[in-house]
Structure 1
Amino acid sequence: MRKALFLLMAAPAAISSPALAEAERDAPANSAEKAEAPAAPPKEVFSTGVAKGRDRLDSATSTSALRGDEIQKFGPRALGDVLRTMAGLRVASGIGEGNNNYTVRGLPLAAGGSKYMQFQEDGLPVLEFGDLFNVGTDVYLRNDFTVNQIETIRGGSASTFASNSPGGLINLISRTGDVEGGSVQLSTGLDYDEKRLDFAMGGRLNRNTRFHIGGFYRQGEGPRRIGFDGWRGGQVKLNVTREFDDGGYVRVYLKYLDDRSPTFAPYVVNITGTNDNPTFQSFPGFDLRRDSVLSRYLGPVITLDQANNLAALPIDTGQHAVSKSFGFETQFDIAGWTITERARFAANGGDFSRAFPNSANTVSAFAAGQSGAGATASYASGPLTGQPIPGGSLINGNGLLQLYFVSFVRARNLDNFTNDLRASRVWELPGGKLTTTGGLYVATQALSTTWLHTAMNVDANGGGNTAMVNIANAAGVQQTVNGYFAFARASSLFRRAFDVDYRVVAPYGSINYHFGKIAIGGSLRYDMGRVRGQLVGADLGEGRVGLTSQDINRDGVISAAETRVAFLPFDRPGAVSYNYGYLNYSAGVNYRVAEPFSVFARYSHGARANADKVLFTPLINNATGAIANERDKADGVTQIEGGFKFRKDGITLNGTVFRVTADDHNVLNGAANRTDRSYEAHGVELEGTIQRGPFSMMVGATYTRAKITLDRLDPTLTGKEPRHQPDWTLVAVPQLDLGRLSAGASIVTITGSYAQDNNLLRMPGFTTVGSFLQFAATDRLRLTLNAQNLFNTLGIFEVNQSAVPANGIGFARAANGRTVSGSLRFDF
């Protein structure tokens, strides 16, 4: 049965669906013209990050789009896995539903999140900053039936039509009830545990009012074996649109998200060979593609809470994102001007837990490393609780013990308010059309989070059976408490509390003159930020304090582990009080050589305010809250790009050559490991689609060469290639539609890259394949089989080590292994 299923899913591995922008056709003036004139070629209308939606062939920008219907054919997938299939984007997924890493054009991924790319939902940012520590923007976004289209713009005018987005924009556009009807879909994992219900419905309430409502609910263990239901929750989205007879409209949006999903970390991996040609493979008893250190035998997360009181927090929290948002959008014409107003308030919060590795070794070596020669180990949880672990034993087939830090971030308040008001007018001039746009953007972003930690000794047991381990010294004195090595991150680092508010005001404007075959345009934006707040941290400033001793288990004895208890020193707060301002600008020219072909060129400069990446570093004066150097407040990005666009007879081909320079302030593992660098990258982006009868295919290829042009803190890294930067990213999405039966694949390849910035250890490239096979039993009933990572590829996204370790023991984050699901969908 399993072999038959595998062959069934492998059959369509050469076919799938194109990523096309929303198409429009110019309607003929009357029925006679309709009968006699040939059909006009479809216009790919793009609206994200530009002054006014227009045909892509008339716009000097690099853009891509993916329709929601094409997304859903491949089954329920995390947003990061969807975006991996879009041309030009570099996505390091494998972390889970959220907190994945996103960038474009060689812009650095020194830490996580999407620093230079802003995520939007219906044209407004989800969070003002895309790389907040432990809470990336994508934790508040979900891929479901409510998504009508995803649009991305790389470079170009993104820096002037949104704040903090010099690299580009990713915009999820919701369905708004244009199409009457709805759908209900039941999905289940066939080789993993997940049950999911998706629904959507839209249509007219009356002649001038339409609505759309949709969402999902799911529950199950998920794609990795963790031993409990790590996926629990869902979301509901609703919008209502009132259209006016004069062509204007007003739309109201509501969204409620309450969803949990696990966070997957780098896990133990066997690394052998040489730095240039290493071999990565799973240890016996722990499959890097299917297993996780998460287990029902771990936890709870015992630590001091945000008030320094003893707390036991659930290990199964994962990424528990909660968001309640209300927004509205309106557009109307006044005296020849088109006025567009968008506003949204989102109450964002939740708890976010993850376990990340510190060290691993054989039983004897691990025990000796913590408690000296003669130290011993025993189980502290699970079915073998209390049993000793012999020093030379190959427990779980691998004989390994590990120290994991468990981070528990409480996001008390990440509330976000944004308002974007703009006015546009098209002026008819004798030689052409002049489009002018002016706008004002206002936003607030709260950052009220607390970072809590504990440290656990665990074994390396797959199948959701990881257990905690005690270590005793040679005299038999326990050095741990029920498997806890420390009630901190083994030091006082990262015991932090943030209470900071960001306010952004950004006036902007653009002008575009379209005459004959030429369109020339430019835009300006000035971002002004006001940052106020307070920090409390065990690692704040000089003379750091934050470690204490406390009788955690209340047995009257302070053990070694209980001398490593981190607390928040509220008597030593640090101030945050500074303002910033910077100019963004972009200018481009587009030449429509012929109806199906255009060329363009653009120069852009934008910046990204540095948000929490400068907090808890020496850049900020803890007494006054000031940042002395203006260049430390925001990181600039300059892009030069030029290319062509072709569209005719069912074929599109877009190509862009680019050169990018960027600055980056970041923090990797605390203030002692911060970065302050400049980067340069150049490359080529190619994207094409073809439609021939029942067959269609989208292909994308991105070539990028990047280097660190200046490292201000570690000169030895100047001239090196940034870590995790493949030379090539390749995408192919073919599809075959035979009416009742359709099939397709999503094929993504990345070439090798360096594990760390010292350019020693190479991570191998890999290819993952997603696939679907769909059968329409009736016009309303569809059965679908989906597979992700069809060939169960061991794809490495991240490696902690900078060189092949002498003992062959390392840590790596990998793509999830093969998962196969089935779904039944009913349309009405």
Structure 2
Amino acid sequence: MKTRHALIASVAFCALATPAFAQDATAPDADTVPAAETEIVITAVARGQNVLDSSVSVSAIGGEDLVDLAPRSSAELIRQIPGIRSESSGGEGNANIAVRGLPVASGGAKFLQLQEDGLPILEFGDITFGNADIFLRTDNNIARVEAVRGGSASTFASNSPGGVINFISKTGEREGGSIGLTSGLNYREYRLDFDYGGRLDADTTFHVGGFGHIGDGPRDVGYDGARGGQIKANITRKFDSGYVRLYAKYLNDHSVGYLPNPVRVTGTDANPTYSSIANFSINTASLHSRYFEPITTLNQNNQVQTFNIDEGMHPKVAALGFEAEFEVGGFTVTNRFRYSDISGAFVSPFPASVTGAQAAADAIGGANAQLFYASGPNAGQRVTSPSTLGGNGLVANIVTFNTRLNSLDNLTNDLRATRDFDVGGGKATLTAGFYYATQEIDTAWLWTSHLMSVQGNGEAVLLDVRNAAGVAQTQNGTVGYSASFFGNCCRRAYDLDYTTKAPFASLGLKFGGLSLDGSIRWDFSDARGRTFGDGAVTTRDINGNGSINPSETLVSVLPTTGAALVDYGTDYVSYSFGANYLITDALSVFGRYSRGGRANADRILFNANNVNPATGALLNAAVAVDFVKQAEIGVKYRANGVSFYATVFDARTEEENYEATTQTVFSRSYKARGVELEAGYRTGPFSLSAGATYTDASISRDNISPANVGNTPRRQADWIYQATASYDAKQFGLGVSAVGTSDSYAQDGNQLVLPGFTVVNAFVNFRPLERITLSLNANNLFDTIGLTEAEEGSIPANGIVRARSINGRTVSASVRFDF
């Protein structure tokens, strides 16, 4: 469905005809003010505000911090923000991100919106296999990152009641640029970064930058799993009463999507010990391999097609947009507009189970089945010692998530007008606006099942099974051209269009040191489209040799008729009101209460209890929108290089969701309360920042599994924390950062514990000559095992759990030339 294409010209014309905006004219220039010194909030607020005058919780990370921290993904950067739980174990994308105890029932960032320059990357942050962070890259284009937690995020953005993280671009206010070369020292990846900005004339600035890279990535997969790059550009023209800025972005990148891997667990559920399996490090290995690349299956049209697992997470984005701001008749009229053409793929092997090699063979071929190498240097030969296969005697029953992201195109426009008024002895600020967005979700699930060894260093091989009589039961390592290890489910396709319209308004009052504000948003959401699946299983001669292998009797096809319809609309109201009192120029207190909604998208489909397949109408209106209610009280202090912020919060969350890997439906409510702390100190070349969040969270209602009521939501730790110390002199700089979490539970049953961990990163910079910087960065310096999730809720009999861990130690060296 490409109906939005016809809307681009009309929306752009309307936005240009009505003088419009960027972030905010009162905000400091992104290119010129370090995050540590920025006191203006421009994200998810009516207009730029001083931090001490605002009744929201906000944090910022500056562009130079990005260079020093050298995050391997956007999730690794986001985890540096207080209050944010970022499970940075998925690679360049596919991270699970939450804020202040809000749940991650399935995946992605459901209640948190990721933005670039004030507009969402995707309207929904948890599209299945299309999480927003997959389409985001951190590079030298970024001036700073702002994060607003709770508060006005409910009313100044749609579908983001938990908060907004905004990646703000450089705009060329600072003349100059850089070229940087980075190489992994203990991993294979090479990267080139560049950016340049400046003035074309007195009223026109520009900035352009990007990166390219190639290599395995942080884990050894045996092929160029990381390859591609990004380029972004903008140009700004200033006028007497405002400015207009044009943006462009092109991203075409490949990266490995890390899914759960096998890890050995001993001890008890309450006190487990996790360790790597022989010949397979949970920190550095992956089930990706140079010997497992081509994947043959039926495509969306039920025709035989070969794909390649090295496609990995493959985002393709071509985006154009503008923002402008003008003073018109006493009003500051602002507008943001962007159209993004988005497509790609998500291809990665998921272990449905891990077991002994002979047991796996017998499960497919019967007693005394035989194993043969189907790929690798020994292809065609028999596995003579299954108990030592791969150095550990283990086999993974793989379901390959081959998901085609045909279109995630979106169009977004945000228009607002703001005016200040004198009221009595104070000032009033009135804002009114209208938000319009379309989001297409056109995907196809073309999953297959395979048998492979468990080996690191990109050396895992596919395996074939023959029965005791020597008759082949598999074909080139393929057990079934379906998700046979998932009961042959999940051959699906859907083409959906979501439209969001939202008028909103806010009123702020300021009387001396007292600031009061309230805002309201009315979201109207429409969902239209079709879904196909789950597909039937049939027999088909996939390789065309005229005979049928048992694996060819497990072929999933997509139905071409009888589509289930999606055709419904819903609306909901969000509101937020707060107060801030400036006790002194350096100290303020605030309080806020908010209710925000999140319209559910693709994750409530394929459920006969939610949507009527014949009409597309909702059968249960309650599943359309999940609400988050939050109360917060806090104190802020900032003076003489010292800052301290503390916020006590209480959040109540509704959740309707679906998890693809476990085929699990969620219908429940949560409650979470806690305290969020953030502090900083700067004197001369030395700076120290730290944050910690304590959360007491529980499941308060569960319609599917009532026994979970009262339990702690899975992967929700009592404590998360981060700290960074750095020293930056003229000729050299060095620093260390730590990010950690306390224990959590692997699943909602609260049995198997995921141990807490602390990750230490370090960097050192040396400037031998002016404008030349040599850097050494180490992420996870002590090679800590940090498990962010596990599929099993308790230790299984064989002691093998499937879990995702953060990357092990990665050390990189770089040289940067500034000009």
What is the distance in 2 between the residues matched to 1:416 and 1:798? 31
Pick the aligned partner of 1:339 from 330, 333, 338: 333
What is the distance in 2 between the residues matched to 1:105 and 1:805? 32
Residue aligned with 2:128, SS: coil
User: In the alignment, is the contact (CA less than 8 A) between 1:616 and 1:671 conserved in 2?
Assistant: no
User: In the alignment, is the contact (CA less than 8 A) between 1:194 and 1:218 conserved in 2?
Assistant: yes
Q: Which amino acid aligns with 2:118?
A: G
Cα shift at 1:42: 6.2
User: In the alignment, is the contact (CA less than 8 A) between 2:121 and 2:132 conserved in 1?
Assistant: yes
Q: Which residue of 1 aligns with 2:763?
A: 772
What is the distance in 2 between the residues matched to 1:191 and 1:683? 40
Q: Which residue of 2 aligns with 1:17?
A: none
List per-residue Cα deviations over 1:667-721 (Å, max 9, x = no partner): 1247962110000000110001001232111100000111110101111111111
Pick the aligned partner of 1:506 from 497, 502, 507: 502
User: In the alignment, is the contact (CA less than 8 A) between 1:457 and 1:485 conserved in 2?
Assistant: yes
Pick the aligned partner of 2:207 from 212, 216, 235: 212
Q: Which residue of 2 aligns with 1:7?
A: none
List per-residue Cα deviations over 1:245-295 (Å, max 9, x = no partner): 23x000000111011001111111111110000111111111111111111
Using the TM superposition, name which of 366-375 and 108-117 deviates more.
366-375
Residue aligned with 1:389, SS: coil
Instruction: Indicate yes or no: 2:653 matched with 1:662.
Output: yes
Instruction: Indicate yes or no: 2:260 matched with 1:266.
Output: yes
Pick the aligned partner of 1:412 from 396, 406, 411: 406
Q: Which runs of 5+ in 1 are unaligned?
A: 1-20, 26-40, 539-544
Q: Which residue of 2 aligns with 1:8?
A: none
- Give the TM-score normalised by the residue count of structure 1: 0.93
Q: Which residue of 1 aligns with 2:516?
A: 520
Instruction: Indicate yes or no: 2:40 matched with 1:62.
Output: no
Q: Which residue of 1 aligns with 2:550?
A: 560
Residue aligned with 1:202, SS: strand
Pick the aligned partner of 2:776 from 785, 797, 815: 785
Pick the aligned partner of 1:73 from 68, 81, 87: 68
Q: Which residue of 2 aligns with 1:15?
A: none
User: In the alignment, is the contact (CA less than 8 A) between 2:106 and 2:659 conserved in 1?
Assistant: yes
Q: Which residue of 2 aligns with 1:315?
A: 309
User: In the alignment, is the contact (CA less than 8 A) between 2:611 and 2:620 conserved in 1?
Assistant: no
What is the distance in 2 between the residues matched to 1:594 and 1:633? 45
What is the distance in 2 between the residues matched to 1:455 and 1:625? 32
Change in CA separation of 1:122 and 1:462 when aligned onto 2, cut-off 3 Å: same
User: In the alignment, is the contact (CA less than 8 A) between 1:160 and 1:586 conserved in 2?
Assistant: yes
User: In the alignment, is the contact (CA less than 8 A) between 1:407 and 1:452 conserved in 2?
Assistant: yes
Pick the aligned partner of 2:727 from 732, 736, 750: 736
Higher relative contact order (CA 8 A, sep 6+): 1
Instruction: Indicate yes or no: 2:138 matched with 1:143.
Output: yes
List per-residue Cα deviations over 1:302-356 (Å, max 9, x = no partner): 1100100011101100011100000000101012110001100000001211111
What is the distance in 2 between the residues matched to 1:671 and 1:470? 26
What is the distance in 2 between the residues matched to 1:671 and 1:772? 40
What is the distance in 1 between the residues matched to 2:725 and 2:433? 41
User: In the alignment, is the contact (CA less than 8 A) between 1:22 and 1:44 conserved in 2?
Assistant: no
What is the distance in 2 between the residues matched to 1:555 and 1:214? 51
Residue aligned with 1:394, SS: helix
Q: Which residue of 1 aligns with 2:355?
A: 361
Q: Which residue of 1 aligns with 2:684?
A: 693
Cα shift at 1:413: 1.2
Cα shift at 1:392: 5.1
What is the distance in 2 between the residues matched to 1:77 and 1:148? 18
Instruction: Indicate yes or no: 2:447 matched with 1:453.
Output: yes
Q: Which residue of 1 aligns with 2:585?
A: 595
User: In the alignment, is the contact (CA less than 8 A) between 2:29 and 2:173 conserved in 1?
Assistant: no
Q: Which residue of 1 aligns with 2:604?
A: 614
What is the distance in 1 between the residues matched to 2:533 and 2:662? 12
Instruction: Indicate yes or no: 2:122 matched with 1:127.
Output: yes
What is the distance in 2 between the residues matched to 1:384 and 1:276? 42
Change in CA separation of 1:606 and 1:819 when aligned onto 2, cut-off 3 Å: same
What is the distance in 1 between the residues matched to 2:687 and 2:333? 39
Residue aligned with 1:777, SS: strand
What is the distance in 2 between the residues matched to 1:397 and 1:351? 33
Instruction: Indicate yes or no: 2:576 matched with 1:586.
Output: yes
Change in CA separation of 1:734 and 1:353 when aligned onto 2, cut-off 3 Å: same
Residue aligned with 1:513, SS: strand
Instruction: Indicate yes or no: 2:749 matched with 1:758.
Output: yes
Matches within 5 A, 1:345-744: 345-390=339-384, 393-490=387-484, 491-538=487-534, 546-618=536-608, 619-669=610-660, 673-744=664-735
What is the distance in 1 between the residues matched to 2:145 and 2:38? 17
Residue aligned with 2:219, SS: coil
Q: Which residue of 1 aligns with 2:17?
A: none
Residue aligned with 2:76, SS: helix
Using the TM superposition, name which of 125-134 and 801-810 deviates more.
801-810
User: In the alignment, is the contact (CA less than 8 A) between 2:420 and 2:428 conserved in 1?
Assistant: yes
User: In the alignment, is the contact (CA less than 8 A) between 2:117 and 2:166 conserved in 1?
Assistant: yes
What is the distance in 2 between the residues matched to 1:779 and 1:340? 41
Q: Which residue of 1 aligns with 2:21?
A: none
Cα shift at 1:23: 6.8
Q: Which amino acid aligns with 1:146?
A: N
Q: Which amino acid aligns with 1:819?
A: T
Cα shift at 1:77: 2.5
Cα shift at 1:397: 2.1
What is the distance in 2 between the residues matched to 1:241 and 1:693? 34
Cα shift at 1:498: 0.9
What is the distance in 2 between the residues matched to 1:527 and 1:806? 50
The RMSD of aligned alpha carbons is 1.5
Change in CA separation of 1:315 and 1:66 when aligned onto 2, cut-off 3 Å: same
Cα shift at 1:22: 8.2
Q: Which amino acid aligns with 2:248?
A: L
Cα shift at 1:391: 5.2
Q: Which runs of 5+ in 2 are unaligned?
A: 1-25, 31-35
User: In the alignment, is the contact (CA less than 8 A) between 1:118 and 1:168 conserved in 2?
Assistant: yes
User: In the alignment, is the contact (CA less than 8 A) between 1:24 and 1:45 conserved in 2?
Assistant: no
What is the distance in 1 between the residues matched to 2:700 and 2:327? 49
Q: Which amino acid aligns with 1:797?
A: T
Percent of pairs identical after alignment?
45
User: In the alignment, is the contact (CA less than 8 A) between 1:159 and 1:165 conserved in 2?
Assistant: yes
Residue aligned with 1:464, SS: coil
Q: Which amino acid aligns with 2:307?
A: L
User: In the alignment, is the contact (CA less than 8 A) between 2:257 and 2:347 conserved in 1?
Assistant: yes
- Give the TM-score normalised by the residue count of structure 2: 0.94
Q: Which residue of 2 aligns with 1:36?
A: none
Residue aligned with 1:393, SS: helix
What is the distance in 2 between the residues matched to 1:346 and 1:155? 27
Q: Which amino acid aligns with 2:529?
A: G
User: In the alignment, is the contact (CA less than 8 A) between 1:412 and 1:449 conserved in 2?
Assistant: yes
Residue aligned with 1:729, SS: strand
Residue aligned with 2:134, SS: helix
Change in CA separation of 1:700 and 1:799 when aligned onto 2, cut-off 3 Å: same
List per-residue Cα deviations over 1:542-587 (Å, max 9, x = no partner): xxx5111111122322222111111101122110000010000000
User: In the alignment, is the contact (CA less than 8 A) between 1:401 and 1:460 conserved in 2?
Assistant: yes
Q: Which residue of 2 aligns with 1:233?
A: 228
List per-residue Cα deviations over 1:30-78 (Å, max 9, x = no partner): xxxxxxxxxxx96610110000111010000011111111111123531
Q: How many equivalent pairs are there? A: 786
Pick the aligned partner of 1:329 from 323, 327, 331: 323
Residue aligned with 1:70, SS: helix
Using the TM superposition, name which of 370-379 and 591-600 deviates more.
370-379
Residue aligned with 2:153, SS: helix
